Amino acid sequence: MREINGAMKSTSFFLTKVLATVAAAASLTTGSAVEAHHSFAMFDQTRTMANTAVVSRIEWTNPHAYMFFMVSGKTGTAAKMAVECGSVSLLVRKGWKVNSVRVGDTVTVTYHPFRDGRVGGMLVSIGKADGSVLRG
């Protein structure tokens, strides 16, 4: 027992109050971190672009998969392009397999571009040579 504001309180009462305060603080910081992670403000979702490209690298990682391509730049020279995809589990639910797209494949990449002018953006879909389309 300990005295708090003139009243005798048990140690477990004190410990419960401390743990409740810590849990409340943790839930506030965790929520804002998750919310910040899911911002799509860097992509211009009012615009959709498409490029014919050659797949140069695929990263099946979480929280987002990434695909890298070589595309023809504005001057006709090859340029690197990257697109952010959904999570691996989301892509699998949409029908993707690890070998759905392979390095060296020529595809049509449809995406929402970066707002800052970098080449690439957020994947909308991949059109394959056989006519099939994979949604991002």
pLDDT digits (tens, 9 = 90+) for 19-51: 444 444 444 444 433 444 557 789 999 999 999
Residue with tokens 């048990």: 10
Taking only the tens place, the pLDDT of each residue in 64-83 is 999 999 998 777 788 899 99
pLDDT digits (tens, 9 = 90+) for 84-121: 999 999 999 999 999 999 999 999 999 999 999 888 99
DSSP, residue by residue, 90-128: HHHHTT--TTSS-TT-EEEEEEEEBTT--SEEEEEEEE-
Spatial separation of the C-alpha atoms in residues 57 and 64, rounded to whole Å: 14
CA–CA dist 69, 57 (Å, integer): 7
Q: Which of 4, 129, 126 is nearest to 65 (CA)?
A: 126
Q: What global pTM score does this model have?
A: 0.69
